[in-house]
Homo-oligomer: A and B are copies of this chain.
Amino acid sequence: MAFNTTATIASFGGKLLKLTHKSSSTNTSMGLNLYLPPQSSSSKVPVLFYLSGLTCTGDNCSEKGFFQHGASKHGIAVVYPDTSPRGLNIQGEDDAYDFGSGAGFYVDATKDPWSKGYNMYTYITEELPKALFESFKELDESRVGITGHSMGGHGALTLFLKNPGKYKSCSAFAPISNPINAPWGQKAFKGYFGEDQQEKWKEHDATELVKKWSGPLELLIDVGTGDNFYKQKQLLPENFVAAAKEAGNDRGINLRFQSDYDHSYYFMASFADEHVEWHAKRLNA
């Protein structure tokens, strides 16, 4: 077994496993949570990857996100990975909430010293699913969806758009939708890729990626109108939809502005059921 199970917690009729494993992508031990719904004891179940936002680990959403409620109903496993390597001892890695620890941005860093472990793109798209499908035979690797919040919404959109066919469903909560034009994204890409690597930046920008998408595109995206980061133009979901429209790919995008909701887990919990149902329709089809 590639994973150590440090706790098994009953939740909504299923169980939440607290796991750790050695990652060759990040060169660290990585923690994550895996929710196995009750249906997984008798049959293979689809898997929804939930990518967290800045500062979070896989714990926050498993406690406050309410995804287990819908996942139990629809028979879907949920994977809650961490948001970066931890403890690489890179100078300054813990100095800011929006860069380094807790802020891996789901990219493979190319710039020293971050390239020695900040490889969350490879970790999430390759290493972690491979390890999970080897260790947990109840997970159906042919039915995988992806979602996420804020930085994790950026992760969900970009990983989905960069890997046609890998994910059968995608949704996002308050995603950073055009990071190359937003302060958070610019800081991260400058640090992980370098200031002069504009082509590399675009490879991890959902708004750039959607321009090149071919084929049908179905996405559910929720953004709260009371979200201060939306107001500060960190998220820019309109840019994403405009780019999709220009490319003729916007018809299946359901961008919903939810009145008064903020950027917190209160927002996500309120719409978690609807997102899980969105994925269930596609993963259980």
**Which A residues are closer than 8 A to B by beta carbons?**
9-13, 15-16, 63-64, 66, 68-69, 224, 226, 258-262, 264-267, 269-270
Complex: A181 Cα to B69 Cα, angstroms: 36
Residues of B within 8 A of A12 (CB): 269-270
11 A-B pairs within 8 Å (CB atoms) are namely: A9-B264, A10-B226, A10-B259, A10-B261, A10-B262, A10-B266, A12-B269, A15-B260, A63-B266, A66-B69, A69-B69
Instruction: Give min CB distance, A274 to chain B, whole Å.
Output: 12
Judging by beta carbons under 8 Å apart, are B64 and A10 in contact?
Answer: no
* Inter-subunit contact A11/B64 (CB<8 Å): no
A10-B267, A64-B64 given; name 18 further pairs at CB < 8 Å: A9-B262, A9-B266, A10-B224, A10-B226, A10-B258, A10-B259, A10-B262, A10-B266, A11-B269, A16-B266, A63-B63, A63-B265, A66-B66, A66-B69, A66-B269, A68-B269, A69-B69, A69-B269
Q: What separation, in Å, do the CA atoms of A9 and B263 have in the docked complex? A: 10
How many Å from the CB of A57 to the closest CB on chain B? 15
Query: How many identical subunits does the complex contain?
Result: 2
Cβ contact within 8 Å between A11 and B63: no
Label chain A's interface by main secondary structure.
Answer: mixed
Q: Which residue of B lies closest to A12 (CB)?
A: B270
A258 partner residues in chain B, CB cutoff 8 A: 10
Cα distance, A269 to B62, chains bound together (Å): 11
How far does the Cβ of A35 sit from chain B's closest Cβ, in whole Å?
10
Report the Cα distance A20→B265, complex, angstroms.
22
CA gap between A267 and B63 in the complex, in Å: 11
Contact B69 A260 (CB under 8 A): no
**A58: shortest Cβ distance to chain B, in Å?**
14
CB distance from A271 to the nearest CB of B (A): 9
A222 to chain B, nearest CB (A): 12
CA–CA, A66 to B269, complex, Å? 8
Considering only CB atoms, which chain B residue lies closest to A62 in the complex?
B266
**What residues of B have a CB within 8 angstroms of the CB of A259 in the complex?**
10
Verify A11–B66 contact, CB threshold 8 A: no
> Which residues of chain B come closer than 8 Å to A10, judged between CB atoms?
224, 226, 258-262, 266-267, 270
Q: Which residues of B contact A266 (CB under 8 A)?
A: 9-11, 16, 63
Complex: how many Å from CA A11 to CA B224?
A: 11
* Distance (whole angstroms) from the CB of A187 to the closest CB of chain B: 28
Which chain B residue shows the least CB distance to A261? Answer: B10
CA distance A110 to B43 in the complex (A): 58
Minimum distance in angstroms from A260 CB to a CB of chain B: 4
